[in-house]
Amino acid sequence: MGNDGGSIPTRRELVKEASRNPTTSQVKESQSEQQEYHWTTCPLSHRPLALPVVSDSSGKLYNKDAVLESLLPSSDGNKADNEQVLQGRVRSLRDVVEVKFQEDKEPSQDKNPRGQRWVCPVTKKTLGPGIRAVYLVPCGHAYSESAVRELAGENCQECNEPCAPENIIPILPTSAAEIEKLAARANKLKEQGLTHSLKKALGSSKKRKKNGETSVAAETGASSSSNGEKDAKSKTATKAATPQPTSGTATPSNGIKNAATASLTAKVLEEEAERNKRRKYGTNDNIKSLFSSGNGAGKDGDFMTRGFSIPAGAKR
């Protein structure tokens, strides 16, 4: 672009208009297009939404069969795309709730891209991009937000099942406050070991059971050790309280109040003590009979004191 007699364009000439932030109308138009797409198309299978329809903790809608296919092990490239769409929010069917839409049986004059109309059972308004809609957990019945606000009840109008205010999930929320509120609810349920459908998460019961068994075992060990210490102390106290018999003197055991029984017991203890004493000092009569009392080693001696004698006619 030089030395050819031409001109070099400047940035001002190339960039005619500077980038501008989108206006409010443009933002609304973009959100409306996104809402129309998500109300009519499943982001997993890219097919039209058709009952049964499920929703995760973020309020997005999916075809139930598409969620089942995404949970199955697969080797194709769709697995990565599904993970990018779900962002780890769906690990099992417990992480989704089947949204029960009421279909409008009356013929509609407007053109509906879904081929079906979902209406609020209370206000009979069409649920779609132009209407703020919610569904209840865990029953899954869908209403318009205005109907739920007006009724202000804690039970579902269709099945009369109780529902807490934090379990009223907006369908396809657009405001940042609603998105943050749903994320906080999901984190709170995860800490409690629950899923979006208020069911126990897979694997949480086993961990709790294991921790419970460990605590029970620890408590049992502590109680057994304390009981062992108590038993040892009680045995020591009993041994100290029980009088021990001395040598040569027999003391009857405590608790014998009959005089004849006490004297007989004392006599038996004396005889036993005497036998023990004789056994200790080697004064047993049977053993004593094997030895002689004298020092001679002749024929009159016993077999322990007699030595070997040489006959008189033997040659030396």
pLDDT at position 271 is 86
208 contacts 193 by C-beta, under 8 angstroms: yes
Q: Which two tokens stand for residue 182?
A: 């749903």
pLDDT at position 278 is 74
Q: What is the pTM of this model?
A: 0.58
pLDDT at position 290 is 61
- Three-state SS string over 104-116 comes to CCCCCCCCCCCCC
What length is written for the chain?
316
Residue reference for tokens 């780890």: 88
Residues 115-133: b if buried by 16+ CB within 10 A, e if exposed = eebbbbebeebbbbbebbb
Closest CA to 90 of 77, 71, 76, 73: 71
User: Measured between alpha carbons, how far is 54 from 65 in angstroms, rounded to an integer?
Assistant: 9
Average pLDDT of each block of 10 consecutive residues along the chain (316 residues)?
68 71 81 90 92 94 93 76 90 94 71 67 90 93 92 85 92 93 95 94 62 50 53 53 46 57 82 80 59 53 56 61
CB atoms within 10 A of CB 79: 14
Instruction: Report in angstroms the alpha-carbon separations of 104 from 46, 108, 132, 150, 177.
Output: 24, 9, 18, 22, 32
User: Measured between alpha carbons, how far is 38 from 128 in angstroms, rounded to an integer?
Assistant: 10
